[in-house]
Amino acid sequence: MKIVEISKENQSDFKDYLKDESNISSSFEGQIIIPRSELELSEFLASVSTSNSPVYVSGKRTGLVGGAVPIVESEISNNTVLVSLESLNSISNFRETTNGAFIDVLAGTSLSDLITELDQNYPDYFFPVDPTERSASFGGMLSTNASGSRGFKYGSVRNWVESIRVVLVDGSILELNRGIDKLNNLGFKYQDKEYSFNEIYKPKTKNSIGYNYFPNMDLLDLFIGSEGTLGITTSITLRLLKKPKSVFFVLQLFEKVTDALSFIKKLRSEKQIDTLSIEYFDSKALEFASKSNALILSLFNDFLNNSRCAAVYFEVSSIDPDFEFEKINELVSSCNAKMDNSVFAETVKEQEDLKRFRHAVPEGINKEIAKRRLVHTRIRKVATDMAVENEFLGEVYDLYEKTFSNAGLEYVVFGHGGDNHFHVNILPRTNDEVDLAVSSYESLAESILKMNGSVAAEHGIGRLKKKLLKIQYPPEVIQQMIDIKKIFDPNFRLNIGVLF
């Protein structure tokens, strides 16, 4: 096992471990532990289990809520430990069974490594969940219950996890299998003790808001989405799907936002088309993406002068392209647009280009934020991650526009329109605007709940959105989550400051 001692003197050499994509950072002093096996991790944690040492958990640090950043909040911070899962990185044991196809990954394996492995060796199969950031690790994705654009069709990571192995903070190891290790109604047994809690009600929308707890649930679903606060996942069995025979992607332009939103509603209720994802981009998002994509820029130059234009990007699993094309054409025309103003991607190369275009939006925004931070040091991106029920698509869009334009903030709207889940990215221009952005964002939470929504749909609560968790749930539900944590982490040492 690799152990690195971090002190004030050498902190800057290891700064990548001390921040994530949320741009918060830590002045951590302590040990970074890089285990090469589950056994090494388990033995190490057992050896420090009688100390009070806080233990933090780090995957690939692409998280957007600071969950992997080891911020030491208490005074008793001797011997702090940051566990990095980077060396638990392998893919094995692909198998086809009568129940489907499965593959095992160690928790530090990235999504892009799995995609490469499947493409090279098992090209008939794919992993259905596709968060935009493919360098994310499976341990991280499981811990935030990540989803992404294809969440529209396939839901979140939770749906594709068959079993997990977890090392608890005292070094003990749990193996949890779907369909086998279950709650008995609302109770379960752990280390010869019986526990029972009330059901935790979750909105029906996408969500990543603390622990799951419902009757007869699979116990692994308690750990999925727990943001590393219950245990450290070391390995995961994933369920795979057969690739659709053929897929095409479309980026369709609309002159008005309202037309784009109507199109989203129509497309998602069109049952004769097998739609995998429905993503939305406002004109500012298109502008950011176009900067890195000359093709898009040349096609949409005229539109880009129209600040109310918008685009919908969608992916279709195709059976009968002529029929699907005809149907889409009908839907597009009924929303005052023309398919002439679209990009249609059939080949792998064309599809990769469109995916790059999609990824260029957050990347372009991040670059702009980094530029602004050189002048105003507190500047960071503030981004919404809330989802509401289908009937509130237009209402939630209006709410965002009203809230952020009334506050005088600069913002970009894009994201998972098919799930009523927009990532409104606010780009503060001054340090004061960061506070204004955060308070404007937080002011939305009550309205989101009225739309039966979730305040954190896929990125988790982490360190940055704890205030929102308190709006989502009353104190007794949060206390129940804390009581559950204490079963697996009695001294409250694991990922302190995340969720609670």
Ligand X SMILES: Cc1cc2nc3c(=O)[nH]c(=O)nc-3n(C[C@H](O)[C@H](O)[C@H](O)COP(=O)(O)OP(=O)(O)OC[C@H]3O[C@@H](n4cnc5c(N)ncnc54)[C@H](O)[C@@H]3O)c2cc1C
Contact set with ligand X (CB under 6 A):
20-21, 57-64, 67-68, 85, 107, 131-133, 136-137, 139-141, 143-144, 146-148, 227-228, 232-233, 362, 458-459, 462, 495, 498
Q: Which two tokens stand for residue 109?
A: 């394996």
Q: Which of 369, 384, 355, 377 is nearest to 465 (CA)?
A: 384
Query: Could you tell me the CA-to-CA distances from 128 to 242, 244, 405 in Å, in that order?
Result: 9, 11, 36
CB of 294 to ligand X, least distance (A): 21
CB of 293 to ligand X, least distance (A): 16
Question: Measured from the CB atom, is 63 or 337 closer to ligand X?
Answer: 63
CB of 275 to ligand X, least distance (A): 17
CB of 204 to ligand X, least distance (A): 18
Question: Measured from the CB atom, is 40 or 270 closer to ligand X?
Answer: 40
CB of 238 to ligand X, least distance (A): 14
Query: Could you tell me the CA-to-CA distances from 144 to 84, 210, 390, 394, 410 in Å, in that order?
Result: 16, 9, 23, 27, 28
Phi, psi torsion values for 273, nearest 5 degrees: -115, 130
Question: Measured from the CB atom, is 169 or 331 closer to ligand X?
Answer: 169
CA dist., res. 131 & res. 26, Å (int): 26
CB of 179 to ligand X, least distance (A): 22
- Cα distance between the two ends of the chain: 30
CB of 38 to ligand X, least distance (A): 11
Question: Measured from the CB atom, is 147 or 403 closer to ligand X?
Answer: 147
Question: Measured from the CB atom, is 229 or 252 closer to ligand X?
Answer: 229
Kind plus residue range of the DSSP H or E element containing 232? strand 232-242
Question: Measured from the CB atom, is 80 or 144 closer to ligand X?
Answer: 144
Query: In the block, which residue shows the tokens 């897929």?
Result: 247
How many residues does this entry show for the chain? 500
CB of 178 to ligand X, least distance (A): 18
CB of 66 to ligand X, least distance (A): 8
Kind plus residue range of the DSSP H or E element containing 2? strand 2-6
Q: Which two tokens stand for residue 55?
A: 């233990």
Question: Measured from the CB atom, is 57 or 309 closer to ligand X?
Answer: 57
Q: Which residue type is seen at 161?
A: V
Question: Measured from the CB atom, is 131 or 303 closer to ligand X?
Answer: 131
**Cβ within 8 Å of residue 375, ≥6 positions away:** none
CA dist., res. 50 & res. 46, Å (int): 8
Query: Could you tell me the CA-to-CA distances from 404 to 105, 400, 424, 434 in Å, in that order?
Result: 42, 6, 9, 12
Q: Which two tokens stand for residue 1?
A: 């096992």
Q: If phi over 0 gives left and psi between -120 and 50 gives alpha, with beta otherwise, what is residue 79?
A: left
Q: Which of 497, 496, 486 is nearest to 190 (CA)?
A: 486
Q: SS3 for 319?
A: coil
CB of 356 to ligand X, least distance (A): 12
Question: Measured from the CB atom, is 48 or 129 closer to ligand X?
Answer: 129
Counts of helices then strands in the chain (DSSP H, E): 15, 19
Residue 481: HSE in the Cβ half-sphere, 13 Å Cα cutoff = 23
Question: Measured from the CB atom, is 265 or 358 closer to ligand X?
Answer: 358
CB of 63 to ligand X, least distance (A): 3
Using CA of residue 396, residue 398, residue 400, residue 403, what is the dihedral sign?
A: negative
Question: Measured from the CB atom, is 337 or 456 closer to ligand X?
Answer: 456
Query: In the block, which residue shows the tokens 């679209």?
Result: 342
Question: Measured from the CB atom, is 231 or 428 closer to ligand X?
Answer: 231
Q: Which of 379, 339, 343 is nearest to 358 (CA)?
A: 343
Maximum distance among all alpha carbons in the chain? 69
CA dist., res. 242 & res. 320, Å (int): 18
CB of 258 to ligand X, least distance (A): 25
